[in-house]
Amino acid sequence: MIGGKNSHSIVVGYVLWIFGFMGAHRFYYGKPATGTLYFFTFGLLGVGWFIDLFLIPGMDKEADEKYKVGAKDYDVSWILLTFFGYFGVHRFYLGRWISGAIYLCTGGLFFIGVLYDFWNLNKIISESNS
Protein backbone atom coordinates (compact mmCIF):
# COMPACT_ATOMS: atom_id res chain seq x y z
CA MET A 1 0.00 0.00 0.00
CA ILE A 2 1.50 3.29 -1.11
CA GLY A 3 -0.03 6.64 -0.24
CA GLY A 4 -3.02 4.96 1.41
CA LYS A 5 -4.14 3.27 -1.82
CA ASN A 6 -4.02 -0.47 -2.39
CA SER A 7 -2.69 -1.84 -5.65
CA HIS A 8 -5.03 -4.84 -5.57
CA SER A 9 -8.63 -5.16 -4.45
CA ILE A 10 -9.88 -8.01 -2.29
CA VAL A 11 -13.26 -7.74 -4.07
CA VAL A 12 -11.62 -8.27 -7.46
CA GLY A 13 -9.63 -11.11 -5.91
CA TYR A 14 -12.84 -12.88 -4.92
CA VAL A 15 -14.46 -12.19 -8.30
CA LEU A 16 -11.45 -13.80 -9.98
CA TRP A 17 -11.58 -16.59 -7.40
CA ILE A 18 -14.96 -17.57 -8.81
CA PHE A 19 -12.95 -18.47 -11.90
CA GLY A 20 -10.30 -20.09 -9.68
CA PHE A 21 -10.35 -23.30 -11.62
CA MET A 22 -8.24 -21.40 -14.16
CA GLY A 23 -6.01 -19.78 -11.53
CA ALA A 24 -6.98 -16.18 -12.33
CA HIS A 25 -6.91 -15.05 -8.69
CA ARG A 26 -3.46 -16.58 -8.15
CA PHE A 27 -2.05 -14.79 -11.19
CA TYR A 28 -3.72 -11.57 -10.01
CA TYR A 29 -1.97 -11.76 -6.66
CA GLY A 30 1.45 -12.38 -8.25
CA LYS A 31 1.66 -16.15 -7.86
CA PRO A 32 2.20 -17.29 -11.47
CA ALA A 33 3.66 -20.75 -10.73
CA THR A 34 0.67 -21.88 -8.67
CA GLY A 35 -1.64 -20.01 -11.04
CA THR A 36 -0.32 -22.15 -13.89
CA LEU A 37 -0.75 -25.28 -11.78
CA TYR A 38 -4.37 -24.30 -11.11
CA PHE A 39 -4.83 -23.46 -14.79
CA PHE A 40 -3.88 -26.97 -15.88
CA THR A 41 -5.47 -28.91 -12.97
CA PHE A 42 -8.74 -26.97 -12.64
CA GLY A 43 -7.79 -25.48 -9.28
CA LEU A 44 -6.19 -28.72 -8.04
CA LEU A 45 -9.45 -30.46 -8.88
CA GLY A 46 -11.36 -27.90 -6.85
CA VAL A 47 -9.61 -28.58 -3.54
CA GLY A 48 -7.03 -25.79 -3.85
CA TRP A 49 -9.68 -23.50 -5.23
CA PHE A 50 -11.82 -24.00 -2.08
CA ILE A 51 -8.85 -23.54 0.28
CA ASP A 52 -7.99 -20.26 -1.45
CA LEU A 53 -11.33 -18.88 -0.31
CA PHE A 54 -9.64 -18.46 3.08
CA LEU A 55 -6.16 -17.51 1.79
CA ILE A 56 -7.19 -14.55 -0.38
CA PRO A 57 -6.97 -11.89 2.40
CA GLY A 58 -3.31 -12.79 2.99
CA MET A 59 -2.54 -12.87 -0.73
CA ASP A 60 -4.19 -9.46 -1.09
CA LYS A 61 -2.03 -7.94 1.64
CA GLU A 62 1.16 -9.36 0.09
CA ALA A 63 0.27 -7.97 -3.34
CA ASP A 64 -0.50 -4.52 -1.90
CA GLU A 65 2.99 -4.43 -0.37
CA LYS A 66 4.75 -5.76 -3.48
CA TYR A 67 3.27 -3.75 -6.39
CA LYS A 68 3.36 -0.02 -7.12
CA VAL A 69 0.23 2.09 -7.39
CA GLY A 70 0.07 4.54 -10.27
CA ALA A 71 -1.81 5.68 -13.35
CA LYS A 72 -2.56 2.17 -14.63
CA ASP A 73 -5.03 0.32 -12.44
CA TYR A 74 -4.32 -3.33 -11.62
CA ASP A 75 -7.98 -4.17 -11.14
CA VAL A 76 -9.09 -2.83 -14.52
CA SER A 77 -6.15 -4.49 -16.28
CA TRP A 78 -6.81 -7.87 -14.68
CA ILE A 79 -10.54 -7.82 -15.35
CA LEU A 80 -9.84 -6.94 -18.99
CA LEU A 81 -7.25 -9.71 -19.27
CA THR A 82 -9.39 -12.35 -17.59
CA PHE A 83 -12.55 -11.70 -19.55
CA PHE A 84 -11.31 -10.11 -22.79
CA GLY A 85 -7.64 -11.13 -23.03
CA TYR A 86 -8.37 -13.19 -26.08
CA PHE A 87 -9.16 -9.89 -27.87
CA GLY A 88 -6.18 -7.95 -26.45
CA VAL A 89 -8.36 -5.36 -24.71
CA HIS A 90 -6.00 -5.22 -21.71
CA ARG A 91 -3.11 -4.40 -24.06
CA PHE A 92 -5.05 -1.51 -25.57
CA TYR A 93 -5.79 -0.24 -22.04
CA LEU A 94 -2.06 -0.33 -21.22
CA GLY A 95 -1.21 1.63 -24.38
CA ARG A 96 0.32 -1.31 -26.21
CA TRP A 97 -1.61 -0.74 -29.42
CA ILE A 98 0.44 -2.91 -31.78
CA SER A 99 0.40 -6.01 -29.60
CA GLY A 100 -3.28 -5.32 -28.83
CA ALA A 101 -4.05 -5.36 -32.55
CA ILE A 102 -2.03 -8.57 -32.98
CA TYR A 103 -3.96 -10.20 -30.12
CA LEU A 104 -7.23 -9.02 -31.64
CA CYS A 105 -6.39 -10.62 -35.00
CA THR A 106 -4.88 -13.85 -33.65
CA GLY A 107 -7.09 -14.75 -30.69
CA GLY A 108 -4.66 -13.59 -28.05
CA LEU A 109 -1.75 -14.87 -30.15
CA PHE A 110 -3.39 -18.29 -30.20
CA PHE A 111 -4.06 -18.06 -26.43
CA ILE A 112 -0.35 -18.54 -25.63
CA GLY A 113 0.00 -14.77 -25.40
CA VAL A 114 -2.85 -14.62 -22.90
CA LEU A 115 -1.09 -17.16 -20.67
CA TYR A 116 2.12 -15.13 -21.03
CA ASP A 117 0.22 -12.04 -19.91
CA PHE A 118 -1.21 -13.90 -16.91
CA TRP A 119 2.42 -14.47 -15.87
CA ASN A 120 3.64 -10.93 -16.52
CA LEU A 121 0.78 -8.42 -16.19
CA ASN A 122 1.58 -7.34 -12.60
CA LYS A 123 5.20 -6.70 -13.60
CA ILE A 124 4.15 -4.76 -16.73
CA ILE A 125 1.77 -2.55 -14.73
CA SER A 126 4.26 -2.04 -11.90
CA GLU A 127 6.96 -0.93 -14.38
CA SER A 128 4.45 1.36 -16.11
CA ASN A 129 3.59 2.92 -12.73
CA SER A 130 7.25 3.55 -11.76
Identify the band that residue 4 occupies on the pLDDT scale cut at 50, 70 and 90: low
Task: Identify the pLDDT of residue 95.
Answer: 93
Spatial distance between the Cα atoms of 61 and 125, rounded to a whole number of angstroms: 18
Task: Identify the pLDDT of residue 113.
Answer: 94
Whether 3 maps to a domain, the answer reads no
Task: Identify the pLDDT of residue 5.
Answer: 82
* Closest C-alpha to 7, from 94, 89, 129, 97: 129
What domain count does the chain have? 1
* pLDDT at 1 > cutoff 70: no
Q: Which domain holds residue 37?
A: 10-128
Whether 2 maps to a domain, the answer reads no
